[in-house]
Amino acid sequence: MTPVALAGKELFFDKTLSASKQMACATCHDPAHAYGPSDERAIALGGPHGTSPGVRAVPSIRYKEFTPGYADLLDNPDGISVPAPGGGFAWDGRASSLAEQAKAPLMSPFEMANASPADVVAELKASKSAESFVRAFGPNAFDNVETAFTDVTRAIQAFQIEDPSFHPYTSKFDLHERGDPAGAYTPAEERGLRVFVDPKKGNCGGCHLNGPGVGDGSSGMFTDYSFESIGVPRNAQIPANRDPRYNDLGVCGPLRTDRPQPKNEKTSPFCGLFKTPTLRNAATRHAFFHNGVIHSLEQAVRFYNTRDTMPEIWYPTVGGQRKAEPDAGFPLYGLVTVQYTGGVVQKYDDLPLPYRPNIDRQIPLDGRAARSTPPMTEQEVSDLVCFLETLTDDYRPGTPSGSGRCSD
């Protein structure tokens, strides 16, 4: 690696750059967990004392090197879809580069919580990372605070670009794409791939391919960098959500401020839209979507499959009568495991009514009637999860995936 990237590596792991002296970039972006969080919490704790809760789930920062800058009308890499909001870094795309993205946690009051760029530079100058920083940027590296702070973010960006651990391409999928016999799919994984690309089943490729299709070498990022609104349920575990007036609306705020929510609450095409993440290493995660409300890959797939056909297992019911015991066959894989008679399901409970026209209507989230047949069968759900597990890095040939259920 270059001296700049080596300096960035030290900065990435340096906790002294936080107000609490307890948090580094690697605290939330753990290299042992695909540069994502190491625990099951929906949000991380940070701030001056390490006790301030965040408002969004921590994303993995692997495979970011091809992410374009944000544009309201970004050309979709599938060559078919019309231009739409896409690109950028963070859940709302507000950063245009990895370097710009690095500024956010350094200054965020609920992350590393520095009061100013000058504080970051002062902490760095007194830290163990100062020597490598000077080697990278010269003996006058600290003379100008603004330049030094920019160089901090440039160094972190260089580390992410130059270190192979941020883009290892060591999954079973990668072996398969290279024609390595060790990457041969099992029957379940093959079936899952078909579900993934089938526009009438999983239709995952509608947002998670960045080229014409799996198998042609152009789809390796498993995101088209677009923004979607899918009506994710409100997460009551996020303290900010205890205020019913608070809404995280993605591209139109509150963390992003250049596409603000209209004051008259008329429809804005940006409200409720969040970045489509890569599906690489999704099976290693424990918190899904921007608010971390879903806690397993299988549960995430089931949300897509039954959000519309069984909304009562994903959203709260108001005014109903709770059953002492759920009926036989009532699914327990949702967020709501209590069955009600009567009442009204509060569907899309985390998105204000004026912005619900922004919700994506692609299969499987196509708005089909409650109690109708979901797009995927139970077998197809299982097979799809099996295929998605092939996207996990550090694959060891011969190791069974999916606890053995993916071998048939």
pLDDT in tens, 151-208: 999 999 999 999 999 999 999 999 999 999 999 999 999 999 999 999 999 999 989 9
Average pLDDT over residues 85-107: 96
Q: How far is CA 233 from CA 63, 248, 288, 291, 304, in A?
A: 27, 12, 11, 9, 12
Class for domain 3-72+89-166, per CATH? Answer: mainly alpha
Tell me the C-alpha to C-alpha distance, in Å, between residue 380 and each of 192, 195, 217, 304, 408: 7, 7, 25, 13, 13
210 confidence band (pLDDT: 50, 70, 90):
confident
pLDDT digits 0-9 by tens, 50-93: 999 999 999 999 999 889 999 999 987 776 678 899 999 999 99
Mean pLDDT of the chain: 94
User: Which residue do the tokens 């020597």 mark?
Assistant: 131
User: pLDDT (tens digit, 9 = 90+) per residue, 228-264?
Assistant: 999 999 999 999 999 999 999 999 999 999 988 877 7
What pLDDT, on a 0 to 100 scale, did the predictor assign at position 402?
62
Per-residue CA distances from 207 to 68, 85, 238 (Å):
15, 12, 27
* pLDDT of res. 398: 81
pLDDT digits (tens, 9 = 90+) for 263-278: 776 778 999 999 999 9
Q: In this structure, what is the dihedral angle of CA atoms 251, 158, 54, 225, given to the nearest 10 degrees?
A: 30
Q: What's the pLDDT tens digit per position in 381-407?
A: 999 999 999 999 999 998 766 657 898
Q: Sign of the C-alpha dihedral, residues 132, 137, 139, 141?
A: negative
Per-residue DSSP letter, 9: H
